[in-house]
Structure 1
Amino acid sequence: MTKHRARFFPAVLFILTAAMGGVFPQSIIESQRNLIRNAASSGSDSAAQSFDAAVPNAQLAMSSAEYPVTAGDVYTLAFAAGTQSVTYAIPVDASYKIRIANLGVLDCAGLTYLELKERIINLVHRNYPMGGAQFILTSPASFLVTITGEVEATVQKRAWALTRLSSLCKPEFTTLSSARNIEVVSEDGSSKVYDLFKAERGGDLSQDPFLRPNDTVTVKRIDRQVTIEGAVERPGVYDLLKGENLKALIEDYSGGLLPTADLSRTELLRVAEAGSPGEKRYLTARDVEADFALLCYDKITIADYEDLKPVFFLEGAIQQTLEDGTTSVNPDASSRISAEFNSGEDYASFLRRNKTWFSPISDLANAYIIREGQRIPINLNALLYDASVYAGVQIEPYDVLIVPFRQYFVSVSGSVRNPGRYPYIPDRTWDYYVGLAGGIIKSQNARESVEITDVNGNALSKTDSVTPETNISVKTNSALYYFNQYAPVLTMVLSVISTSISILAVSGVL
């Protein structure tokens, strides 16, 4: 009997343990699931706003090893006390003293979320080894930061523990604000100066810290702000520190020179000297090596050898690009543009890259080049659209490429009722266009006598094809028309003569 009891009690103990184990893990799993759902729902609205720097987000905070425990945070702790599932909300106030259920009080000042989580879970496990503790951040704190100094206006802006200095203060900058000298005074009165340029350019994020509750940010005024442009990697406006001048501006701030930079033609525009409206100075490579001293508002321009490329000119039916990006060509006026090219380049390769310069009214077949007073014909149709043409006339400096107009109309003048210009229609004869002009005035023209010339002034017969810009002149050759024009004048003259003779005869003069 005793042996049976010895076997029975371990079996009962095993069954009870298994039963409790089935209840205990299930309750803890449900608690953990609820905590995760709450944390996810608290951050979902922020996620929809692309994690706005000023909007607290619990998921983002828990994914960051740097998130500091902040007054106003609300955490949730869940664990099992025996067979009972326990859940506590733990708010953090300005004292940074938090009560962990009935287990004690912790000082969480200066801790990150992960450090606090480790301490709390260790505390729970010491008291409830099988507690399965879970600790999450459910509501990150938000707080106000004051921004003052050289800003548009002193403001208080909302922030949270993962808001960096730059994201909050840079939108308030004026043209005189310095990103190199920003003072942050903490709630305890301690202060530190930060340089946002080092953070942005060099990646030193210690110069772009996370803000804390009741910080006061003071933006200082610029000391020396200079501009550099031209043949450098990073042109822009920079604030120089004490002791930094031209060499540092070129090598450190602007990232160095481009391969095509020409230091012998460096320009300095200085407007800061008292009593001077501004002056331009010309610097050389020697001035760069000597670290030429710069003043506030100096503007440096590094010349580029690309600026010295040879040029040629295009005139005639050329399209011009407008400010809105569209192209325009005036059918009644010639355009002239200048174009840079590389030495040794020919017209074929250059014009194929820029074929958008030409329009439907460009007469490409009759283009020509004026070079030192000589006229050189060039068929641009072949250069642009014939794949077998891979080379052409080489471009020379100051060439003038003339592209004539090819306007699709026919002019009708002379003895017609409505002289003018009419749209060109292929395969139409001369009488079609005369008909558009109202027809020949029969009283002025005899035998349908017309004079037809093409765009080059060559005479055409009535049976020749009419081409664009042909001129059709209907002659005024009717003898009766001219007689009717001059007969009244002759009659008047004869009448005057006859009357004069009669008067002279009566008066006895004749």
Structure 2
Amino acid sequence: MKHRLIALCFLLIIILLRVFAQELNASEVKESDALSRFAQVALSSSDYRVTAGDIYTLQYAAGTVPVVYKIVVDSSYRINVSNLGIINVAGKSYQQLKTDVEGIVTNNYPLSGVQLVLTEPASFRVRVTGEVQNSQEIVTWALARLSGLLNIDNRTPYSSLRDVSVRSQNGQIRTYDLFKAQRFGDMTQDPYVRPGDVITVSHATRVVTVAGEVERPGIYQLLPGESLRELIGYYANGLSPIADPTRIELVRQVESAVDSGDKIYLTRDAIDSGYPLQHLDAIRIPSIIELIPVMFVEGAVRLTEEGDELSTATRLTVRFTVGENYASLVQRNQAWFSAISDTKNAYLIRGVARIPLNLNPMLYDSSYRSQYFVEHNDTLIIPFRQYFVTVSGAVHSPGRFPYIPDRSWDYYIGLAGGFLPERNSHKIVDIIDFAGNKLTKKDIITPETNITARANSGLYYFNQYAPVITTVLSVVSTFITITLLISQ
């Protein structure tokens, strides 16, 4: 038993080792694939610069002897070309290195079929600091650009992309404006990073928002000296065709007189004259469409074509063109109406006047023109079309009750308080629809149906006439008794 347990443990260890080896091989394959893809990108790019840590493979024929030589670039950037020469490759691109190396080998071994290939591109670290969530070192490679290292999750609301400085290993500092790179494709403002770079993100000092009728609404960081003119014309790319620059709204939060901010109204002159803007100012350019007059529609109308049932009244605000006829307004908005919209008995409230307005001809006759034209602040009322079901007979509260689709006869009996047991002990009803047809309890109840609960209990009639019968019998019995006494 002990030997079996030891053997089982060894077997388990062997299985675990195999699993570990497979996972290790899989990770190595993935890493190899990644390196291969990076190498392919570097080989296809004329921008790739030789970087400390690169591994190149040099192949050529020395006479009849094939030679394969690995070249590793160290931080000195001086490489030994198969003991045929030493060259300084600092600042050179891969294509320049390839030309130099192949030239040295060809000078020594003509017709050697020399070839230099980048096998493994180098990876290195750069540091990101300044106005970021966390200063950190990032592992990257020579074809990564500055913008790619400024992760949006690591930026703060005050991170400036207009003022990003990069200090290289030799201490040289350059400042870049990533907005120009992102908006205009100026890649001189979005350089490739290099080993040892320190990236510093500056604090944004003046950020403003522009919304409404401009071509590029958004949040922008202004540079010193830039004003409303630059915000609208340069950053927001100008006004839209339907902009109304006579009613520009500016909300100023910083140093405002009230907590909600000061609201300032500006005109086009403010754009032309370069109105100064402060940090966190918010600009809105309204639309001329906002000046189009409005009217209102209330009652049994809907916002979409989905579903016909409305439980409550709806109020719609509708913009219209001056001179529009009510017929054209109704025809282009047929989706407002459903089966419960009483379009025949609609009416218009204009000031204190109430004007009947039958919409049916407008809905179904495209050539029809109403005598009424839409006016500012009109209110069109669409009543609900209400159906009823009548319940009578041996129930507690006979009457007319609102029709509800897909309800059975006993629902309406319940609305009437239920049967009177002393008058209807077997729940017998007569159901007659609007057309006079007799329905069964299994049929669907339709609008304007009459439901009659029969008074069919024999006990009910007995109880109804029992007092009379009892009185008559009592009189008769008394009369007979008196007659017998007299006869004696």
**Partner SS, residue 57 of structure 1:** helix
> Is 346-355 or 117-126 further displaced after alignment?
346-355
Question: Which residue of the partner structure matches residue 339 of structure 1?
Answer: 318
Residue-by-residue CA offset, 1:32-82 (whole Å, 9 max, x unaligned) = xxxxxxxx99874479xxxxxxxx711111111111111111111111111
Give the Cα–Cα distance (whole angstroms) in 1 for the partners of residues 376 and 105 of structure 2.
Answer: 86
**2: CA distance, partners of 1:212 / 1:306:** 53
Which of 204, 211, 217 is the matching residue for 2:193?
Answer: 211
Task: Specify the SS of the correspondent of 1:377.
Answer: coil
Superposition pairs of residues 440-451 of structure 1, within 5 angstroms: 443=423
Residue 414 of structure 1 and its aligned partner are, at CA, apart by 3.5
- Name the amino acid aligned to 1:211: V
Unpaired stretches in structure 2, ≥5 consecutive residues: 1-28, 468-488
Give TM-score scaled by structure 1 length: 0.70
Q: 1:226 aligns with which of 201, 204, 208?
A: 208
Structure 1: stretches of 5+ with no match in the other structure: 1-39, 48-55, 455-459, 489-510
Whether 2:228 is the aligned partner of 1:246: answer yes
Partner of 1:251: helix, strand, or coil?
Answer: helix
Q: Is the 8 A contact 1:367 1:379 kept in 2?
A: no
- Residue 168 (structure 1) shift: 0.7
Mapped contact 2:423–2:455 kept (Cα < 8 A): no
Q: 2: CA distance between counterparts of 1:435 and 1:151?
A: 69
- Report the CA distance between 1:202 and its aligned residue: 1.6
Contact 2:394/2:453 (8 A) holds in 1: no
**Quick one: which of 49, 52, 67 aligns to 1:86?**
67
CA distance in 2, matches of 1:163, 1:204: 16
* Structure 2 partner of 1:272: 254
| CA deviations over 1:231-277 (Å, ceiling 9, x no partner) | 10001110000110000100000000011111111011001127753
Counterpart residue number, 1:472: 450
d(CA) in 2 for partners of 1:317, 1:413 = 27
**Cα pair distance change 1:313/1:468, threshold 3 Å:** farther
CA distance in 2, matches of 1:235, 1:486: 88
Q: Once the 2 structures are TM-superposed, how far is the Cα of residue 148 of structure 1 from its aligned partner?
A: 0.7
3-state DSSP of counterpart to 2:238: coil
Output the amino acid matched with 1:89: K
Name the residue aligned to 1:289: 272
For the pair 1:301 / 2:301, whether they are aligned, the reply is no
Query: Matched residues in 2 for 1:41 and 1:297: separation?
Result: 47
Q: Please state if 1:411 is matched with 2:394.
A: no
Contact 1:362 1:403 in 2 (8 A): no
Contact 1:317–1:329 (Cα < 8 Å) also in 2:
no
8 A Cα contact 2:394 2:423, kept in partner = no
Instruction: Tell me which amino acid in the other structure corresponds to 2:285.
Output: I
Give 1:494's aligned residue: none
Match of 1:143 in 2: 124
Give the aligned residue type for 2:209: T
**Aligned equivalents of 1:116, 1:41: Cα separation in 2:** 29
CA contact (8 A) 2:256 2:262 kept: no
Deviation track 1:460-485 (CA, whole Å, cap 9, x = no partner) reads 6846999954263759999x989989
Q: Deviations over 1:154-205 (max 9, x none)?
A: 1111111111111111422100111101111111111111100111112111
Aligned to 1:195: 177
Change in CA separation of 1:119 and 1:390 when aligned onto 2, cut-off 3 Å: farther
Q: How many angstroms does 1:397 deviate by?
A: 3.6
8 A contact 1:366–1:404 mirrored in 2? no
Task: For residue 117 of structure 1, report the CA deviation from its aligned partner.
Answer: 0.8
Match of residue 157 from structure 1: 138
For the 8 Å contact 2:345–2:356, the answer to whether it is kept is no
Structure 1 residues 275 and 441, CA, compared in 2 at 3 Å: closer, same or farther? closer
Structure-1 separation of matches of 2:329 and 2:63: 86
Per-residue deviation, 1:341:
3.4
Quote the residue 1:389 is aligned against: 366
**Cα pair distance change 1:246/1:483, threshold 3 Å:** farther
In structure 2, the partner of 1:315 is 298
Q: Would you say the 8 A contact 2:98–2:116 is kept in 1?
A: yes
1:398 is aligned, of 360, 377, 398, to 377
Within 1, Cα distance between the matches of 2:291 and 2:391? 51
Deviation for aligned residue 1:401: 3.9
Say whether 1:167 aligns with 2:141.
Answer: no
- The one-letter amino acid of 1:220's match is S
State the SS of the aligned residue for 2:103. helix
CA RMSD of aligned residues (A): 4.4
Deviations 1:362-398 (A, max 9, x none): 4375463515221211128x74xx6x73776565443
Measured at CA, do residues 145 and 425 of structure 1 come closer, stay the same or move farther in structure 2, by a change above 3 Å?
closer
Give the count of matched residue pairs.
420
Q: CA, structure 1 residues 273+81, in 2 after alignment: closer, same or farther (shift >3 Å)?
A: same
TM-score, L = length of structure 2:
0.73
CA spacing shift, 1:135–1:341, aligned 2, 3 Å: farther
- State the distance in 2 between where 1:63 and 1:230 align: 44
Write the distance in 1 (CA, Å) between the matches of 2:262 and 2:465: 76
Q: Hey, what's the Cα distance between the residues in 1 that align with 2:463 and 2:35?
A: 95
Could you report, residue by residue, the CA deviation over 1:126-172 in whole angstroms, capped at 9, with x for unpaired residues? Answer: 11110111111111111111111110111111111111111111422
1:441, distance to aligned residue in structure 2 (A): 7.9
2:133 aligned partner, one-letter code = E
Give secondary structure in 1 for the equivalent of 2:84. Answer: coil
1:410–1:468 CA contact under 8 A, matched in 2: no
Q: Does the CA-based 8 Å contact 2:35-2:120 persist in structure 1?
A: no
Identity across the alignment (%): 41
**Pair 1:396–1:471, CA change in 2 (3 A):** farther
Structure 2 CA distance for partners of 1:422 and 1:403, relative to 1, 3 Å = closer
Tell me the CA shift for residue 400 of structure 1.
Answer: 3.5
Residue matched to 2:114: 133
Please name the residue that 1:497 is paired with. Answer: none
2:341 corresponds in structure 1 to 363
Greater mean alpha carbon deviation, residues 215-224 or residues 414-423:
414-423
CA distance in 1, matches of 2:172, 2:392: 96
Counterparts of 2:325 and 2:332, CA distance in 1: 12
Contact 1:71 1:141 in 2 (8 A): yes
SS in 2 for 1:181: strand
TM-superposition CA deviations, 1:74-96 (whole Å, max 9, x none): 11111111112211111111111
